[in-house]
Structure 1
Amino acid sequence: MTTTKFNNDVKLIISDVDETIADLYVKAETEMLRELEKLLAEGKVLFLISGQSVKSIKWRIVDHIKPELRKGMIIGHCSGSEVWGFDEAGNLEKESYYSIYDNSMNELQKKKWREIIQQLVSEFKLDVFDTMPILEFKKKSNENPLAIMLEDRGPQITFEVVNGYDLQPDKANQLELKKPKTYSSYDLRIPILERAEKLLSKENLPITPRLAGVFAIDFTIKGVSKTTAVKNILKNEKALSQLELTNTNLVEPLYIEIWGDKFSTVRGGTDRHISEALPKSVRSITFREENPDEFLDGYNTVVWDGENHLHHGLLEFLKSR
């Protein structure tokens, strides 16, 4: 029997997407979508914030939610580079609530950024694939450590280093690259990230490469984080009004909750940045089996203790209420 009970008083739920609501690069399961619709029908607001693009979040989740319920949703894509809402008809608003992309880079800089991405691909002899479900990618790539999925999401470019983030010594030694050892394995992302930092710095581009998720490298605009996006929305009167939230709703920590799967301060957990935008007493639930010793000190972060984990754990949690 789980000790983590659903908070019926919650009014604003801020949730990660990948492996929290849906598996990577696939549509959310029908049962999950129906549970989300129940929350929205009860008047709870759902703020989805992810490293994925608007397009990805829409086709995997939002497009399968009843249009009349979507006005209770907002989505922060590309790690919070932009935040979008939905109108009464369930369509994406014409203007975002918040955007840092176009205000941070000119067209020449955007072009140079993409040239550096191609330089990294060439230097590291990466075999590039489009995004697809992980098992399909592993099969198509023959688990080649140098095979990656690359996606240009506009405000963010992502390398999914599925086969190369956790290399055992025998496979690592087959690569003609310097491979830093992390924990008991080798992570190909580290030399890619270090080289990217040098190239981006040389061109004085406002881009930060960083480890993300389990096996990704995200190239994001400097200053972009889930913390910044959440703080901005909680001060955005237009957004709060359209979502029918008030300052009274947001003062009491019990009225806000965070769902995610990566809160570790040691292993590159980005969901903890949502927690950092809110009072420490706001409950954050991780649906991954993480080590509490690696969580932010003093924050109310709990590990879901049900039978299932990740998106199946969240579904179990929702169905338990």
Structure 2
Amino acid sequence: MDEVEMESKANSVIKWNKNAKLIISDVDETIADLYVPAEPAMVEELSALLQEGKSLFFVTGQSIKSLQWRIVYQIPKELRKGILLGHCSGAEVWGHDNEGNLKDQPFYSVYETAMTQEQKDKWRDIIKQLVSEFQLEVYDTMPVDEFKMKTGDNPRAVMLEDRGPQITFEVVNGYDLTPEQTAQLETEIPESNGAYDLRIPIVERAQQLLDEAELPVTPRIAGVFAVDLAVKGVSKTTSVRHVLGDEKVLSSIGLTKNDVENPQHIEVWGDKFSTVRGGTDRHISEALPKSVRSVDFREENPEEFEPGYNIVVWQGKKHLHQGLLEYLKARHHS
């Protein structure tokens, strides 16, 4: 058993994997807080990894534009060739050219091949219907603290973003309701894990409307308080498997299939691996050999992880994106 696997199994302080060549990472609350740019210290660490010849593959439910202004545009252009962007939960994967510019076309796109314009328009009509039926108050995306200042604890207030291949509701105030709050909503909400979650009836109704319209779109609970409606069959697993199996994509970031066949050469970063609480980062792990180490920077219960996968919880003083930064800084002293 190798050093990384030994320390993971022992659940001790997680040491830096010096053999890593490809790092596959979630973004929200792993690299940066929601709807804000990555901190300068994080950008510095990511740039250092790229400078060392490592490749970064960001896989997120966010849009390509969000990835750019929050992370990519802060990284020196000469280093961006080592970055892949899997946005909207893997609906598309994009790379960068030798000058650090986004390529003209994605390496692959499920969105453009799976839906006609008529279907895309009908999908948007269903979103409007959901907003009306659930009497949602819609806001543009913004940092969560700013949103809470504007909306208080109103559970019907949501952020809504159309990302093209994915449309997302951020149900910031409605995912952990008390029985009293639920009664005031006059919407039937089942109890889930000891709380009442407005996302559940939204997802159920969305599924009904999408099925009636025969649209290839899947609604699902995601993140801490999100509802994602994405092209059917798309997940973080999809994009990771595509990249690892495509020599052209790998070569664009300086890797070969031989490089990624060794589990020691890959590491996963995320913050939502629980199978109980809708963790989508586990779908990255599911695309990889089970021995690949996935580091969870949220304080989750390992008993809720997919059995058999090498998912370990960061044991540092900080968590989420601050925990990742702590981990990255610690590597300089190991």
TM-score when normalising by structure 1: 0.99
1:276 aligns with 2:298: no
Alignment match of 1:228 (pick from 226, 234, 238)? 238
The superposition leaves residues 35-55 of structure 1 with CA deviations (integer Å, 9 ceiling, x where unpaired) of 000000000000000000000
The superposition leaves residues 19-70 of structure 1 with CA deviations (integer Å, 9 ceiling, x where unpaired) of 0000000000000000000000000000000000000010000000000000
- State the match for 2:5 in structure 1: none
Alignment match of 1:67 (pick from 73, 77, 95)? 77
SS at match of 1:199: helix
The superposition leaves residues 112-151 of structure 1 with CA deviations (integer Å, 9 ceiling, x where unpaired) of 0000000000000000000000010011112210000000
Q: Using the alignment, how far apart are the partners of 1:12 and 1:185 within structure 2?
A: 38
240-249 vs 123-132, greater mean Cα deviation: 240-249
8 Å Cα contact 1:265/1:294 also seen in 2: yes
1:82-231 correspondence to structure 2 within 5 Å: 82-231=92-241
Alignment match of 1:286 (pick from 291, 296, 304)? 296
Alignment match of 1:262 (pick from 265, 272, 279)? 272
Alignment match of 1:76 (pick from 63, 70, 86)? 86
149-158 vs 175-184, greater mean Cα deviation: 175-184
- How far 1:185 moved relative to its partner? 1.4
1:6 aligns with 2:33: no
User: What one-letter code is carried by the residue in structure 1 that aligns with 2:208?
Assistant: K
- How far 1:227 moved relative to its partner? 0.6
8 Å Cα contact 1:20/1:259 also seen in 2: yes
239-248 vs 160-169, greater mean Cα deviation: 239-248
Q: Using the alignment, how far apart are the partners of 2:310 and 2:193 within structure 1?
A: 27
User: What one-letter code is carried by the residue in structure 1 that aligns with 2:103?
Assistant: E
Structure 1 segments of 4 or more deviating over 6 A? none
Q: Using the alignment, how far apart are the partners of 1:15 and 1:183 within structure 2?
A: 27
1:25-64 correspondence to structure 2 within 5 Å: 25-64=35-74
8 Å Cα contact 1:2/1:306 also seen in 2: no
278-287 vs 246-255, greater mean Cα deviation: 246-255
- State the match for 2:251 in structure 1: 241
Q: Using the alignment, how far apart are the partners of 1:210 and 1:48 within structure 2?
A: 20
User: What one-letter code is carried by the residue in structure 2 that aligns with 1:158?
Assistant: T
- State the match for 1:298 in structure 2: 308
- State the match for 1:16 in structure 2: 26
- How far 1:2 moved relative to its partner? 6.1
Alignment match of 1:314 (pick from 304, 324, 328)? 324
SS at match of 1:150: strand
SS at match of 2:103: coil
The superposition leaves residues 56-104 of structure 1 with CA deviations (integer Å, 9 ceiling, x where unpaired) of 0100000000000000000000000000001111110001111100100
Which stretches in structure 1 are left out of the alignment for 5+ residues?
Answer: none
User: What one-letter code is carried by the residue in structure 2 that aligns with 1:146?
Assistant: R
Q: Using the alignment, how far apart are the partners of 1:199 and 1:242 within structure 2?
A: 41
SS at match of 2:264: helix
The superposition leaves residues 225-279 of structure 1 with CA deviations (integer Å, 9 ceiling, x where unpaired) of 1111110111112111111101221111100000000001111000000001110
Which stretches in structure 2 are left out of the alignment for 5+ residues?
Answer: 1-10
User: What one-letter code is carried by the residue in structure 1 that aligns with 2:195?
Assistant: S
SS at match of 1:258: strand
SS at match of 1:257: strand
SS at match of 2:306: coil
Q: Using the alignment, how far apart are the partners of 1:75 and 1:251 within structure 2?
A: 21
**CA RMSD, 1 decimal:** 0.9
